[in-house]
Amino acid sequence: MNKPIAAIFCLLLSLSVKAESGYDLWLRYTPVSNSALLQQYRTLISAPVVIGNSPTLSATRNELKNGLSGLLGQRVSVLTAAAKNSTLIVTVSVPALAETGNEGFIIKSKQGKITITANTDIGLLYGVFHFLRLLQTQQDISNLNIVSAPKLKLRLLNHWDNLNRTVERGYAGFSIWDWHKLPGYIDKRYIDYARVNASIGINGAVLNNVNSNALILTNAYLLKVKALADVFRPYGIKVYLSAKFSSPIEIGGLKTADPLNSDVQEWWKAKAKEIYSLIPDFGGFLVKANSEGQPGPQDYKRTHADGANMLAAAVAPYNGIIIWRAFVYAAENPVDRHKQAYDDFQPLDGKFSANVMVQVKNGAIDFMPREPFHPLFGAMPSTPLMMEFQVTQEYTGQGTSLIYLAPLFKEVLNSDTYSKGKGSTVAKVIDGSLNHHSLNGMAGVSNIGNDINWCSHPFAQANWFAYGRLCWDYDLSSETIADEWLRMTFSNNQQFVTAAKNMMISSREIMVNYMNPLGLHHIMSTGGHYGPAPWVDNLKRPEWNPVYYHKADSEGVGFNRTSTGSNAIAQYFPEVRKQWEDINTCDEKMILWFHHVPWNYKMKSGRTLWDELCYKYYSGAEDVKKMQQTWTSLQPYVDAEEFDHVKQLLNIQYNEAVWWRNSCLLYFQTFSKMQIPANYEQPDKTLDYYKNLSFPFVPGI
């Protein structure tokens, strides 16, 4: 080969090797690397067929074709009617399957054939995604007997996306909803969004920010919403909207939004009729009211139940629901912020309409890296409660940190409320089984933006994946979910999976140690919540100041929430209180959440509280360094572009961990008057240096 031709050949070859952008998330469908399993798959899968015709079955057929073609390394056609040699058959079951409900499925291997059956088309789509996941994770499919149905009815993503395409607490670029071009232009990303969500069983999307703009309910925007609903429908995803309570005033020409006013009630009924005429399967409204300055029924001396029930009546004829957020606190209320949502909502138990759910954050403060489960779980047995998790990492490293959130989600779901004795877990509250509610669900605040890889940090994709998998089955372990995601996203190499999984599982505890150890909370900077600022004390609302939460003084540090303090602990059942009320037996992971602890208090390790804080902060930062070393060792198994992306972000994360460590210890040292032990690397900057750092353009504000 002469030199010019060789040069051209090399150029073409280099162009043909596509760098991994992350756009395909966990649906990459790369060829199966295990030759024995590949041969098994090719032998067992012949003339696959998806029987029937509908938009959902067309999507199912297309997914199966693309998935099998990629995984088997050969072109695969999927039939619409069974052939004699068809060995993979996807069909609605006749008679109906009792054990799967409307969304579940059964996958069975029998007499040389694999069948995927369900009662509905969407059940078949979920079954096909599950089957493809088996191949992606290189499982033996010769003897399958899988019965799977979702544990939760509503499995929603809450997008905090604004109409100008900014995203509140978004760290992956702008909103994927291009409102300006809708409804005329349907971005392919909308279809891929629906595909990816269907692959993990998510069945609903709240399209706009809970700090809502009333314009979303005007006809011009409803036509845009309809276009998205039409795209999502074949994938089993309903659209919901965040509704601004003052919309009758802002876009309706009324002078009041009082929920007991007949004109207001009629306005909402007319608006619901308009929406359902465009979108017959519209899910309903999510409402943030009387929280952080948002309008609500309390503006008119009405209760949250009054407001929710008025909206519930408007959507009830169309089988719509109202999801009413319990995240409320008020500047004029001097009570511990931990107590305010409980105080507002618990007395309203049983007063909400049948199609109202109260959406409760996992903890009583605000998506902290670690906090005790919200006391409302178990305290409202006559009201269906919906879990609200934050998938976007507002307080857990934002877009620069590798933090796997499944352990956080599981910690909350497995917490025992003791509301009906031992075993009354938060999971059993939200799935409705504890108190016999048929309406149940979970919501996750989205981490999705228009970055090419959707989530900014490649490992942030795992939190979207984990959230969906736990919505479907909250009994799955963090380890199982991490294993699936790593194999589907990167590699099935066992050495890679084991090391990367261990890194993921430990990442949340590492972050807690270098940010908020021992129950410290809400000590991040104000506004963008990026980085530490435990010293802030000058904001007009007391509960916006970090000093409100740690209460450091010469005596010690921590918020006394026992009977001698705010008594927030009384909102929990007695068996739960026993875990935390005695400083000498309190779980040390929560000790500063519930107690003001002396600096020289002796911890279980034998160290003083001050030395334990130092130990936690320093070990957390050092463990990020170990994560860097682990990732470096995994370079041979990862696409070069993605490897470098994560490597650079881990460098940022280590620097941020040191920043958290040094600034927090220097600040708390001004109260403890104790030295950072000499065996630790001493801070190389002053406290004033850290106090003067400013980040006015941090993403997500």
- Supply the residues annotated as catalytic: 292, 366, 394
DSSP 189-240: HHHHHHHHHHHTT--EEE-S-SS--GGGGSHHHHHHHHHHHHHHGGGT-EEE
Find tokens 């999502």 and name the residue.
232
**Residue at 71: amino acid letter:** L
Rounded CA gap, 169 and 181, in Å?
Answer: 24
Under DSSP, is residue 665 helix (H, G, I), strand (E, B) or coil?
helix
Burial 338-348 (b: 16+ CB within 10 A, else e): bbbbbebbeeb
The gap from C-alpha 191 to its chain's centroid, in whole angstroms, comes to 20
Burial of 604 (0-12, 13-18, 19+ CB in 10 A): exposed
Rounded CA gap, 253 and 606, in Å?
Answer: 67
Q: Where are the alpha helices (DSSP H) in 448-573?
A: 461-472, 478-489, 494-515, 547-550
Closest CA to 176 of 454, 450, 460, 455: 450
Are 360 and 394 in contact by the 8 Å Cβ rule? The answer is no
Closest CA to 240 of 290, 196, 188, 279: 279
Q: φ and ψ at 123, to 5 degrees?
A: -60, -40
Q: Measured between alpha carbons, how far apart are the two ends of the chain, in Å?
A: 58
Integer angstrom CA distances of residue 615 from 142, 507, 608, 619, 679: 51, 17, 10, 6, 11
Are 201 and 155 in contact by the 8 Å Cβ rule? The answer is yes
Are 416 and 576 in contact by the 8 Å Cβ rule? The answer is yes
Closest CA to 345 of 304, 398, 298: 304
